[in-house]
Amino acid sequence: QVQLVESGGGLVQAGGSLRLSCAASGTIFSINTMGWYRQAPGKQRDLVATITSGGLTTYADSVKGRFTISREKANSVYLQMNSLKPEDTAVYYCYCLSRYTNYWGQGTQVTVSS
C-alpha cells in the first residue's frame, strides 16, 4: 500500500507560478512512475506530467515548456508550474504506480485568475 499527500495548491494570477509537492509513504520501494493528473469541473481527469524511477518524463502538450516535473529519492515528486493560465484551473492529483496498482492523492486545488 502507498499513501500520497499533496500540498502547494492555491490561487494565483495568470502568468504566475506555483509549485506542487507530493510525498509518498508506505511501500515506497516498489514505486515506479510518479506524476500529476488534473481534473477541471465537468471534465475527465487528464495527465499533466509523469516521471519514472529512471528519470524519464512525459508531459501533456498543453503544459510543455511551462511545467516541470521532478523527483527526489523514491517518494517525492514535484510540479513547478510557470506562466499559469486560467485554463490550468483544476484539482491536481498526485499519482504513482506501484506493483501494477495505481494510487492517488486526495487532490489539491489550483485556481488561476485572469
Tens of pLDDT along the chain (114 residues) come to: 899 999 999 999 999 999 999 999 988 888 899 999 999 999 999 999 999 999 999 999 999 999 999 998 778 999 999 999 999 999 999 999 988 899 999 999 999 999
Q: Are 34 and 24 in contact (CB under 8 A)?
A: yes
Quote the DSSP letter at residue 86. Answer: G
Q: Which helix (H) or strand (E) holds 28?
A: none
Cell 504506480 sits on residue: 97
Give the separation between CA 114 and CA 107, rounded to whole angstroms.
23
Question: Grid cell 511501500 — which residue?
Answer: 27
CA proximity to 28, closest of 53, 45, 57, 10: 53
Q: Within a 10 A sphere around the Cβ of 68, how many other Cβ atoms?
A: 16
pLDDT value at residue 1: 87
Which grid cell sits at 104? 492517488
